[in-house]
Amino acid sequence: MSGKIMGKLAAVGIAALLTFHPITATYAVENAYKIHTIHRGDTLWKISMQYGVSMQDIIKANHIADPDRLKIGQQLKIPVGVPEDSVIHKVKSGDTLWKIAERYQVSIQDIVDLNKINPKDHLRIGQTLLIPSQGNKGQEPGVHIVQWGDSIWKISVKYNVSIQDILQANHLTKDATIYVGQKIVIPAKSTKPYVTYTEHVVRNGDNVWKLANDYGIPMTELMQANRLTEQSTLRIGQKLTIPVHHVPVTHTPGPQYGEYLDWWTQAQYVFPIGAQASVMDVATGKRFNIVRSYGAFHADCEPLTPQDTATMHAIWGNQWSWIPRAVIIEYKGRRIAASASSMPHSIQNIKNNNFNGHFDIHFLNSRRHKDNLVSEDHQKQVRIAAGTGKSN
């Protein structure tokens, strides 16, 4: 690499190498490249930032001899196709997202996020899907194994730890590069949740219930932050204060356990209303997919599809039951210790899942809706899922 390019790298420093947000691209899965045509003002650094790919990878993919001499109209291959260790699945007759997720033991949400698809869209026979790897499952606590597309910035955001703390803990300099499979120590820090605030300008169609769901907070909390009541009318252009809850990742006794998160200060914000998640039954390892539809004292959830309902029914011995079971809720890379019963009851949102109502999922310190009391039967199962046994 020329001295001129090295000078540019030194100038951009951590901004170029560590602080960009790599995209997970799925363009041209079969050949793993996207074509970029050089326009006036393009530089390798600018192109690398646009696609979240290192300058070195672009140079290598195109056999560029002189990185300083790019020609307008020149076409470059950008290696953005297949993340490291992912699997390509070609859709066959009868495939559904649920079946594919079950086959590869990943969540539907992980497949949807990686492929940038709408979960309600029909799959096409012959369509190619990327199936995410198992990522960091099974790694030791406090260590992150670098995956394709990772950067120090991305890792710092995931674990809510500053870039500087990660660099110091791993004896890295600000212009260091990281590689797939590398182990990054995540320094210990306070796991106490904290709250910041953002602003929302009311638009046509907004109401307090909708905004609370959109921002993943209880409606009562949104009303309290803005001194509103259920009778308050929102005005277009009105500015609202939105609490933003930051819930750091907490360590577990082992990778098979879920985070032991308090419902009131942690779990309800990590797993908000409207979230689609995967439930893993601790005893059997079986999974089914759900949506959190309601719930203030605990999570009121519904199975996503008829197949998910059938899996639930089988887990509870082919019957619907109030008996709680230890489960782990898997959502956006977090695994939360919980307890679920399977009895369908009361209102529902999903009408075509063969489940008449919703079912209950409890977390640490959550309560029953009927009497606002903590259920010790549920708390026992939460402790099992968290790896803390029968003790508090």
Q: Is the pLDDT at 42 greater than 60, yes or no?
A: yes
Measured at the CA of 95, the angle between CA 299 and CA 312, to 5 degrees, comes to 30
Helix (H) or strand (E) holding 208: helix 208-215
Quick check: 67 and 43 in contact, CB under 8 A?
Answer: no
Residues 281-314: pLDDT tens digits?
999 999 999 999 999 999 999 999 999 999 999 9
Measured between alpha carbons, how far is 157 from 151 in angstroms, rounded to an integer? 10
Crossing angle of the two packed helices 219-226 and 208-215, in degrees rounded to 10: 110
pLDDT band at 315 (very low <50, low <70, confident <90, very high): very high
CA-to-CA separations, 170 to 149, 173, 184, 385, in angstroms, rounded? 19, 9, 7, 31
Q: Which contacts qualify for 2-11: CB closer than 8 Å, 24 or more apart?
A: 2/66, 2/67, 2/68, 4/68, 5/44, 5/55, 5/67, 5/68, 8/43, 8/45, 9/45, 9/55, 9/175, 10/175
Measured between alpha carbons, how far is 356 from 123 in angstroms, rounded to an integer? 27
Alpha carbons within 13 angstroms on the beta-carbon side of residue 184 total 28
pLDDT band at 333 (very low <50, low <70, confident <90, very high): confident
The whole-angstrom distance between residue 254's C-alpha and the CA centroid of its chain comes to: 20
* Cα dihedral 278→283→285→291 (10° resolution): -10
pLDDT for residue 285: 93
Q: Which of 102-116, 239-253, 330-344, 348-362 has the lowest mean pLDDT?
A: 102-116
Alpha carbons within 13 angstroms on the beta-carbon side of residue 255 total 12
Measured between alpha carbons, how far is 203 from 201 in angstroms, rounded to an integer? 6
The single-letter DSSP state of residue 139 is P
Q: Is the pLDDT at 318 greater than 70, yes or no?
A: yes
CA-to-CA separations, 35 to 4, 16, 44, 80, 133, in angstroms, rounded? 25, 22, 14, 10, 26
Contacts of residue 314, defined as CB under 8 A and 6 or more positions apart, other chains included, come to 286
- Report all structural domains of the chain as residue ranges with CATH numbers, in order of start: 3-78 (3.10.350.10), 87-131 (3.10.350.10), 143-185 (3.10.350.10), 194-246 (3.10.350.10), 263-386 (2.40.10)
pLDDT, mean of residues 153-170:
78
Amino acid at 3: G
Biggest alpha carbon–alpha carbon distance for the chain: 73
Q: Is the pLDDT at 105 greater than 90, yes or no?
A: no
Quick check: 374 and 299 in contact, CB under 8 A?
Answer: no
More confident residue, 4 or 241: 241
CA-to-CA separations, 142 to 42, 186, 229, 249, 347, in angstroms, rounded? 40, 5, 43, 10, 41
